[in-house]
Chain A
Amino acid sequence: QVQLQQWGAGLLKPSETLSLTCAVKGGPFSDYYWIWIRQPPGKGLEWIGDISYGETTNYNPTLKSRVTISTDTSKNQFSLKLTSVTAADTAVYYCARAPKGLAGRFDYWGQGTQVTVSS
Chain B
Amino acid sequence: DIQLTQSPSFLSASVGDRVTITCRASQGISIDLAWYQQKPGKAPKLLVYAASTLQSGVPSRFSGSGAGTEFTLTISSLQPEDFATYYCQQLNSYPRTFGPGTKVDI
Contacts and interface: CB of A to CB of B under 8 A. Distances in A.
Interface of A: 44-47, 50, 58-61, 94, 98, 102-107, 109-112
17 contacts: A44-B98, A44-B101, A46-B98, A50-B96, A58-B95, A102-B50, A103-B50, A103-B53, A104-B34, A105-B34, A105-B91, A106-B44, A107-B46, A109-B43, A110-B43, A111-B43, A112-B42
Contacts of B49: 103-105, 107
B42 to A, nearest CB: 8
Interface size class of B (residues with CB under 8 A): 20 to 34
B95 A45 contact: no
Interface string B36-61: 10000011111001100101000000
B50 A60 contact: no
Contact of B95 (A61, A106, A109): A61
Nearest to A47: B96
B95 A104 contact: no
Nearest to B92: A104
A63 B92 CA distance: 20
B46 A45 contact: no
A60 B32 contact: no
Which of A44, A58, A94, A111 is packed against the most chain B CB atoms within 10 Å? A44
B63 interface: no
Given A45-B101, A50-B96, A105-B55, 14 more contacts: A44-B87, A44-B100, A45-B98, A47-B96, A58-B94, A94-B44, A103-B50, A104-B32, A104-B91, A105-B49, A106-B36, A106-B89, A107-B49, A107-B55
